Structure 1
Amino acid sequence: MLALVGRYFIFLGKMLFLRERPRIYLQAILDECIYIGISSVFIVVIVSSFIGAVTAIQTAYNLVSPLVPKYVIGLLVRDTTLLELAPTIISIILAGKVGSNIAGNLGTMRITEQIDALEVMGINSVSYLVFPKVIAALLTFPLLVIMAGFLSILGGYLAGVLTGVITEYEYVKGLREKFVPYNITFALVKTVVFSFLITTISSFKGYYTRGGALEVGLSSTQAVTSSCIAILVADYALAELLL
């Protein structure tokens, strides 16, 4: 285990400190932004909208006491979305979509000796292949989480108002009640950390794939599993440190 962790940090060192010339990365970063960010918009829209709607309906279902004001529904949807649902759940979903693709692509390049060819040409393959993915993730993941947070709150609003469990005024009042702006900062900090973990762990698993097509699939599975575990551990650590 310690050897694997050490190998991972050596991998990060090659990516961060032995980079190629900056102009080489510009087009690659733009391509990765499209591949990682724009291609993930649809799944983020669907998941975040229904997460907000379900949270609102289930919160209303559990408000059995008439002494609890209904605007609490909006307050709970807002806080759970900002603190956990948008950054953490969306990152786990992206770990499955983006992480498996990254590991699969790099694994395929490894077994077809494309990475070896880059090394023969004197190119730092870790930096050339992985660094654009990390930068693209750091740029696009926060935007996806911001969109997810907005759509989750909107989904809760539509579900609550259309089903009659809460009025528009009560929901908006709940959104404004005791709002803590720092929660947005916390959500974005978590997203940046999660995006770095997803891309580097998935790249690490794919880059060191050995064997054939079966091992590429195994690397993709391991990348998703390891990324999800890392996200949950980092989620707890960041909550302890920042809250």
Structure 2
Amino acid sequence: MVKAFSAYLIFLRAMFGNPIPYRMFLSRVAKECIQVGVDSLFIVCIISIFMGGATCIQLASQLTNPFITKDFIGIAVRNMTISELGPTVIGIVFTGKIGSSMASELGTMRISEQIDALEIMGVNANNYLVLPKIIATVLMYPFLVIIAMFLSIYGGFLSCKWLTSIPPQAYINGLRNAFDAYDVHVAIYKSLVYGFLISSIACYKGFSTKGGSLDVGKSSTSAVTNSGIAILIADLFLVYGLLSHRI
């Protein structure tokens, strides 16, 4: 594990040597932003709406205590969405789509010797192929998380209105009750870290692929698995570091 982590750090350091021309680099970043952000928007929207709706129904089914007001469902959906469901659950889904795609793309380029050809021509393949993917993911993933949080809360509202007996106004009152904007800041901080972890681990696994086409699939699977574990570990430390003053 220590050897693999050291190789990962060396891989990250190699991205900043012998940079490609500025305009070419920006073009690569813009292309990756479209692939990472725009192409992932549909699945993020669908998952967010149904995730918020299911959360609302689940909470509504458990509001049996007469001492708990109906407004609580809005508070619970809002806090769960902003603190965990938005950045973390979407991050796991994002890993399965974007992380596997990055690992497969770079793995295929590695076994087909395209990366070797770039290096022979004097191009820093890490800077040309990897760094734009990481920057694009770090830039676009927070926007996807913001959209996911909004749609998840709205999906909860739709479920509350059409699928439960709880008045929609009670849900809205709960959303407004005791709202702390710092929770949104925490979600953004987490999404920045998750974006970096997802892209860098996926690129590292794809870049270090050895063998044939079968090993590309193994690298893709390993990228998704390791990224998911990294997200959960980072989630624990980020939550403790950012919210420990409330404990």
Aligned residues: 243
TM-score scaled to structure 1, two decimals? 0.98
Q: What residue number does 1:2 align with?
A: 2
Say whether the 8 Å CA contact 1:71–1:166 is kept in structure 2: no
| Partners of 2:17 and 2:124 within 8 A in 1 | no
Distance 1:203 1:145 in 2: 21
- 1:43-81, CA deviations, whole angstroms, 9 ceiling, x for partnerless residues? 101110011001111101111111110110000000000
Partners of 2:227 and 2:82 in 1: how far apart?
21
**Does the 8 Å contact 2:18/2:123 carry over to 1?**
no
CA contact (8 A) 2:138 2:196 kept: yes
C-alpha separation between the residues in 2 aligned to 1:31 and 1:114? 19
Distance 2:88 2:155 in 1: 18
Matched with 1:129 is 129
* 1:70/1:170 contact within 8 Å kept: yes
Runs of 4+ in 1 over 6 A off after TM superposition: none
State the distance in 1 between where 2:55 and 2:164 align. Answer: 15
Deviates more, 1:162-171 or 1:6-15: 162-171
Superposed CA RMSD: 0.9
Q: Which amino acid aligns with 2:158?
A: L
Kindly state the Cα deviation for residue 18 of structure 1 after the two structures are TM-superposed: 4.5
Q: CA deviation at 1:179?
A: 0.5
- Describe the shift of the 1:237–1:16 C-alpha distance in structure 2 as closer, same or farther (beyond 3 A): farther
Question: Distance between the aligned counterparts of 1:165 and 1:61, measured in 2?
Answer: 10
- Please state how far the C-alpha of 1:16 moved relative to its aligned partner: 3.5
Q: Give the residue type in structure 2 aligned to 1:117.
A: A
Q: Does 1:167 align with 2:167?
A: yes
Distance 2:29 2:192 in 1: 16
Question: 1:15: which partner in 2?
Answer: 15
Q: Deviations over 1:155-181 (max 9, x none)?
A: 000001112432121111100111110
User: Can you list the C-alpha shifts for 1:177-217, whole angstroms capped at 9, x where unaligned?
Assistant: 11110000000000000000000000000001000000000
Determine the C-alpha separation between the residues in 2 that align with 1:11 and 1:165. 55
Aligned partner of 1:76 in structure 2 is 76
* Aligned residue in 2 for 1:62: 62
- Distance (Å, rounded) in 2 between the aligned partners of 1:17 and 1:176: 49
8 Å contact kept, 1:107–1:208: yes
Residue aligning to 1:116:
116
2:31 is equivalent to residue 43 of structure 1:
no
The aligned residue for residue 102 of structure 1 is: 102
Q: Match for 1:125: what amino acid? A: A
Query: In 2, Cα distance between the equivalents of 1:123 and 1:166?
Result: 61
- Whole-angstrom distance in 1 between the partners of 2:78 and 2:165: 17
Taking only the aligned residue pairs, the percentage that are identical comes to: 48
Give the residue type in structure 2 aligned to 1:233. Answer: I
